[in-house]
Amino acid sequence: MDKKDVKIHIIGAGISGLIAAKVLEDHGYSSIILEASDRVGGRVKSDLVEGFVLDGGFQVLLTAYPAAKKYLDFEALKLQKFVPGAAIFKDGKQTVIGDPLRDFSLLFSSLWADVGSFGDKIKTLKLNNYLKSRTLKEIFDSPEKTTLEYLQEYGFSEPMIELFFRPFFAGIYLEPDLSTSSRMFEFVYKMFGEGYAALPQNGMEEIPKQLKGHLKNTSIRFNCPVAKVKDGEILLQNGEIVESEFTIVASEAGSLIQNLKNQEMYWQSCDALYFKTKDSVIDEPLIGLIPGKDRLVNNIFYPTSFSQKDSRDSQLLSVTIVKDHNFSKKELVERVKDELKEICGIEHATFLKHYPIKKALPRLNSLRYEMLPSETRLTSTIFLAGDTQLNPSLNAAMISGERAALGLIETIDGVRQ
């Protein structure tokens, strides 16, 4: 079986699918990606609205992700780094806390911040050092509990949990109860401690665009939704049948593959809204946290805060909501504007765009970091990729794409023998 003659298809041009295509190319194979939309990236996308780059939901790249360091050119992405901290809006005041070991300017504001006790602040540094000594295998082999249980058992006070940890990690997990696995908490906390949160200068979609640019022997069919996948062939929604010797499904697979139809996937949802404001109420590239069970808004951020020389008359403001609600779009926008004014002192916010994201992150149990290539094999010719196989992160999406491609290659090698 000559490598150039093997018919390989990948369903989905998201992060997993693009990585799978790259690994196949690195081993001398070529593939065809079938993508339902008109662009690469899947859930990682950006739009240009009134001269502003709007990501499809507030997302960041953690520079400590091992897979990201392996597959991405950070310099070419022109990464803009967040200040390692947060601005907390409480009782009409803004309090800044952060990691003074990484940014000395945060030392005094963090020490005197009315967010948790002095003991809480010592515990955050101890936890940081503890997780630096833990391997990723140790983290993902540890017994699972909820993140809330983990924080309580570690000894953090209720004010520290409610004012900082709950809104901060609710914005990462996209769920306000902190019911997400403690493995995910330790992993993310470790990644924050060993690197930076960052955004590409031109938005998160620059990541899949860069991955696509690395492909030399891969073709992509856009606007090509798939209806069914089985050994030997792929049925497109337009009725076309595509012959495929090997297939990697790098999108939601339950509706595509017959024996997966009863394995329903559950998702975390969120709302992302963007506004223009005259001024920024946060002076540095810091995420703004809004604690409180009665608050709709979870966090805010000014993507324009990275540019200290931005000459535009208005600033771009990102708002994230992770709580369930039944508001119409109009009601939601008005409610958000009221909270921005009351809590953050943002008097004039002009609405730009609303992203209601029903499938933002997969809701998973028994989180894993790693998998064997053979574990991605569903049938003799069909392989699965995607962060749903491991944990909800860009890092996991990359690893699963790599493992699916390697599993396919192992199978081909076995056929040759």
Q: 282 with 352, same domain?
A: yes
Domain count, the chain: 2
Mean of the pLDDT values across residues 314-340? Answer: 97
Q: What is the arrangement of strands in the sheet containing 226-230, beginning at the earlier edge strand?
A: 226-230, 232-236, 241-244
In a domain, residue 307? The reply is: yes
Q: 195 with 300, same domain?
A: yes
Q: 324 with 391, same domain?
A: no
pLDDT at 108: 45
In a domain, residue 178? The reply is: no
What are the structure tokens assigned to 22, written together? 């790259």
In a domain, residue 10? The reply is: yes
In a domain, residue 180? The reply is: no
In a domain, residue 256? The reply is: yes
The model's pLDDT over 237-285, given as tens digits with 9 standing for 90+, comes to 999 999 999 999 999 888 899 877 556 789 999 999 999 999 999 989 9
Pairing of strands 31-34, 8-11: parallel
- Domain containing residue 376: CATH number: 3.50.50.60
For the chain, the average pLDDT equals 93
Mean of the pLDDT values across residues 325-331? Answer: 97
Quote the pTM value: 0.94
Mean of the pLDDT values across residues 183-205? Answer: 96
What are the structure tokens assigned to 392, written together? 């909800």
**Cβ pair 256, 269 in contact under 8 A:** no
Q: 295 with 331, same domain?
A: yes
Q: Is the pLDDT of residue 398 over 60?
A: yes
pLDDT at 97: 84
Measure the CA–CA gap between 86 and 65, rounded to whole angstroms: 21
In a domain, residue 354? The reply is: yes
The model's pLDDT over 116-160, given as tens digits with 9 standing for 90+, comes to 788 988 898 899 899 999 999 999 999 999 999 999 999 999 999
Q: 357 with 403, same domain?
A: no
Measure the CA–CA gap between 406 and 390, rounded to whole angstroms: 16
pLDDT band at 1 (very low <50, low <70, confident <90, very high): low
Q: 27 with 100, same domain?
A: no
Q: 307 with 278, same domain?
A: yes
pLDDT band at 14 (very low <50, low <70, confident <90, very high): very high
Q: What is the arrangement of strands in the sheet containing 197-200, beginning at the earlier edge strand?
A: 61-62, 197-200, 79-81
pLDDT at 141: 97
Q: 260 with 387, same domain?
A: yes
pLDDT at 107: 47
Ramachandran bin of 41, using left for φ above 0, alpha for ψ from -120 to 50, beta for the remaining angles = left
Burial class of 416 by CB neighbour count within 10 A (0 to 12, 13 to 18, 19+): exposed
Q: 195 with 298, same domain?
A: yes
In a domain, residue 350? The reply is: yes
The model's pLDDT over 362-391, given as tens digits with 9 standing for 90+, comes to 999 899 999 999 999 999 999 999 999 999
In a domain, residue 182? The reply is: no
The residue segments making up the domain with residue 26 are 3-44+205-264+371-416
Q: 300 with 258, same domain?
A: no
Q: 339 with 397, same domain?
A: no
Q: 341 with 193, same domain?
A: yes
What are the structure tokens assigned to 300, written together? 């805010």
pLDDT at 4: 82
